[in-house]
């Protein structure tokens, strides 16, 4: 399956910080310049294995599979070499589109990003007033890169 996604910094977080959210631990165990393999644990209850391969800056192949929570915990501990990010994710509906807001903690504390998945690369959408600079093409903001070189180390 392909995903088309655009990412933006959040410039005004007062509407965002108190939204209901899920706690996510995301660990990367394979990373190449054009793709990743990761495991994600959500609220310490469910786990997903994800494999991504870039097609363009905003389009990539993405395959996700539910896996046993204990397997995911082992992958985080034994396979990630410490390449882990922690964040809260909240959903926000704006002008008929769902935005996913990631509020990072740990080594990426202070970073807040919003992403929107689109049906096509040229699909138009209305931007919320709290949206800042687009960072879709800036590889530093990819979660895999944030696991490798955290925001607080820039």
6: domain CATH number is: 2.40.320.10
Q: For 127, which DSSP code?
A: P
Is 94 catalytic? The answer is no
d(Cα 131, Cα 12) in Å, to the nearest integer?
Answer: 7
Q: What per-residue confidence (pLDDT) applies to 12?
A: 84
pLDDT bin (cut points 50, 70, 90) of residue 33 is confident
**Overall number of domains in the chain:** 1
d(Cα 132, Cα 32) in Å, to the nearest integer?
Answer: 28
Q: What per-residue confidence (pLDDT) applies to 13?
A: 82
pLDDT bin (cut points 50, 70, 90) of residue 64 is very high
pTM of the predicted structure, to 2 decimals: 0.92
Q: What per-residue confidence (pLDDT) applies to 131?
A: 95
Q: What per-residue confidence (pLDDT) applies to 32?
A: 87
Give the domain range for residue 32.
2-153
Catalytic residue among 18, 23, 28, 94: 28
Q: Where are the beta strands (DSSP E) in 45-135?
A: 46-54, 59-66, 84-94, 97-105, 112-118, 131-134
Q: How many CB atoms lie within 10 A of CB 151?
A: 18
d(Cα 87, Cα 25) in Å, to the nearest integer?
Answer: 7
pLDDT at 148 over 90: yes
């Amino acid at each position: 399956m392909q995903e088309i996604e655009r990412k933006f910094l959040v410039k005004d977080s007062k509407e965002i910080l108190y939204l209901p959210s899920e706690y996510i631990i995301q660990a990367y165990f394979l990373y190449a310049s054009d793709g990743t393999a990761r495991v994600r644990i959500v609220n310490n209850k469910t786990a997903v294995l994800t494999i991504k391969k870039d097609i363009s800056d905003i389009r990539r192949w993405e395959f996700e599979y539910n896996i046993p929570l204990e397997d995911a915990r082992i992958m985080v501990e034994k396979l990630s070499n410490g390449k882990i990010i922690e964040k809260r994710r909240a959903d926000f509906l704006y002008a008929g589109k769902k935005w996913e807001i990631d509020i990072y903690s740990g080594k990426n504390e202070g970073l807040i990003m919003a992403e929107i998945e689109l049906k096509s690369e040229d699909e138009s959408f209305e931007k919320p007033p709290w949206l800042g600079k687009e960072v879709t093409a800036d590889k530093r903001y990819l979660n895999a890169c944030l696991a490798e070189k955290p925001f607080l180390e820039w």
